[in-house]
Structure 1
Amino acid sequence: MTLRHTTAAVLVTAVVAVNTAFTLLGTSFDYPAVLAQDPTDVLRRFHENPAVAWQFALLALSAALLAPAALLTSRLAGGARAAALTGVAAAVVQVIGLLRWPLLVPSLDPADPADVHTFTVLNTVLGNGIGEIGGYLLTAAWTVLTVRALRPGLLNTALAYLAAAGIATGVAIGVEWASKVNFAGYVAWSLWLLWLAVLVVRGRVGARVAVPA
């Protein structure tokens, strides 16, 4: 398999994985809207459905795929170091934020006030601070750096900038309109990645001379 085909496969897999995990969590756990509820109720709902833990693990895995995607697209661009490092960082902070669900939350008892407090702290530090704010900003930055390095054309670049702006809006945690714009940004981001995968396979992006088609 050539570099282009490997890159496209990783991009498509990442999109499928993240949307599958997000759909499952939205159906079984009302995620992310559930996080606005009382922490005790959220923790209780988590324990009532054991499948939620592995669904978060799948979401973490999909976030981790951003790292190889960043490294591969960087190679296609002839070595876009800033884009590669930013993409890997985006993957790391999101995985750190998400893994609290399958690794730490299962041991917390909703009937224990101390555990509920710990759950709240984990959500604030690992969830909001590292996973969300860090993830939103780094993912948006990687998106912009990637299209600047790959030069995928005006329309694809415009969609990338639109998606990046929407994702970055998510840093306004707790603001209803910002969360809706953030969600729309991720939808646009998924479409952008799929479109980019097609362009990659067709040899329409990257270092056209040095990279095998």
Structure 2
Amino acid sequence: MAPLSLRRLTGTLLILVPLTFTICFTLLQMLFEYPDILRQPTADVLTKFQAGGNGLIAVWYVLTLSALLLVPVAVLMRRVLATDADSASLSVATAFGVLAGLVQTLGFLRWPFLVPHLAQAYLAPDASEAQRAAAAMVFEAFHRYAGMGVGEHLGYLSTSVWSLLIALNMLRLPLFGRWLGWSGMLLALGIAVGLLEPAGLELAGTINALSYLAWAIWLMVVGVVMIVRRGESVPALRPSPIAR
């Protein structure tokens, strides 16, 4: 069993990171009508962004940092879940967890650094039609590549794989309880459904959004369990065959 100090550190991050992410996401809904705004014409998106001012940029920056903090969370979770009968799936999970933090960070980075410049160029009073067209083209290109491709598609994939494998490994440890493991696997599948949205399945976006919200709560619950439960009784259980 991992030292109590390590579990408390990991548990604290598991509470703070999704809580920060959820707060920022809520603020973006209020200030920027996110994510519905992304379905609007580019001119409307840039106008709304410009109107949000420095406060909106700050929210995007904090959201980006919260995504980056998934990297240490993934590394620490590996140490917490590691046992003498360590599993290959835990190593794979860590790789996907680190990837999840990195790709989501790369997807969000465009908002606090690139989009303010594009909005200013597009909405400048003396901007020519060619300048506006160029700014709109750059925005749409980064939106599809960095946003939809890297941040969302790879983000959904890596987050769902990490969550699924972490939840599987939780089943080996009495510290967490089987209900946390099974619920984590269910939420991982819900996040993965978002991969089908580009194929035209509109319901996939709703399922993904609801799963992410529940997933954030799930991470916080896991964090509380790590902090509150001392877990002196170390498992006399054999590793689950599915987690080998």
Describe the shift of the 1:203–1:84 C-alpha distance in structure 2 as closer, same or farther (beyond 3 A).
farther
Describe the superposition over 1:43-93 as per-residue Cα deviations: whole angstroms up to 9, x where unpaired.
Answer: 111111112211111111111121111111100112632221111100000
Describe the superposition over 1:75-132 as per-residue Cα deviations: whole angstroms up to 9, x where unpaired.
Answer: 0112632221111100000000000001111111234110011000010000000000
Distance, in Å, in 2 between the alignment partners of 1:208 and 1:44 is 57
Report the counterpart of residue 191 of structure 2 in structure 1: 167
Q: AA paired with 1:190?
A: A
Q: Is this contact kept in 1: 2:24–2:60, CA < 8 A?
A: yes
1:71 aligns with 2:97: no
Structure 2 residue aligned with 1:110, among 118, 122, 130? 122
Q: Is this contact kept in 2: 1:159–1:188, CA < 8 A?
A: no
Q: Structure 1: which 5+ residue stretches go unaligned? A: none
CA apart distance, 1:138: 0.4
Report the counterpart of residue 199 of structure 1 in structure 2: 225
Describe the shift of the 1:48–1:25 C-alpha distance in structure 2 as closer, same or farther (beyond 3 A).
same
1:148 aligns with 2:177: no
Q: Is this contact kept in 2: 1:170–1:178, CA < 8 A?
A: yes
Distance, in Å, in 2 between the alignment partners of 1:189 and 1:175 is 21
Report the counterpart of residue 3 of structure 1 in structure 2: 6
Structure 2 residue aligned with 1:29, among 14, 32, 36? 32
Q: Is this contact kept in 2: 1:41–1:110, CA < 8 A?
A: no
The two structures have a TM-score, normalised by structure 1, of: 0.91
Structure 2 residue aligned with 1:88, among 85, 98, 103? 98
The two structures have a TM-score, normalised by structure 2, of: 0.80
Distance, in Å, in 2 between the alignment partners of 1:54 and 1:176 is 31
Structure 2 residue aligned with 1:157, among 181, 189, 194? 181
Bigger Cα displacement from structure 2, 122-131 vs 110-119: 110-119
SS of 1:31's equivalent in the other structure is coil
SS of 2:122's equivalent in the other structure is coil
The within-5 A match list for 1:120-135 is 120-135=140-155
CA apart distance, 1:157: 1.5
Distance, in Å, in 1 between the alignment partners of 2:21 and 2:235 is 30
Distance, in Å, in 1 between the alignment partners of 2:159 and 2:13 is 16
Report the counterpart of residue 184 of structure 1 in structure 2: 210
CA apart distance, 1:176: 3.0
Aligned residues between the structures: 208
Distance, in Å, in 1 between the alignment partners of 2:167 and 2:208 is 20
Distance, in Å, in 1 between the alignment partners of 2:230 and 2:208 is 31
Q: Is this contact kept in 2: 1:39–1:120, CA < 8 A?
A: yes
Q: Is this contact kept in 2: 1:76–1:150, CA < 8 A?
A: no
The within-5 A match list for 1:13-24 is 13-24=16-27
Describe the superposition over 1:6-25 as per-residue Cα deviations: whole angstroms up to 9, x where unpaired.
Answer: 00000001111100100100
CA apart distance, 1:37: 0.2
Indicate the percent of aligned positions where both proteins have the same amino acid.
35
CA apart distance, 1:208: 6.1
Q: Rg: which structure is higher?
A: 2
CA apart distance, 1:153: 2.8
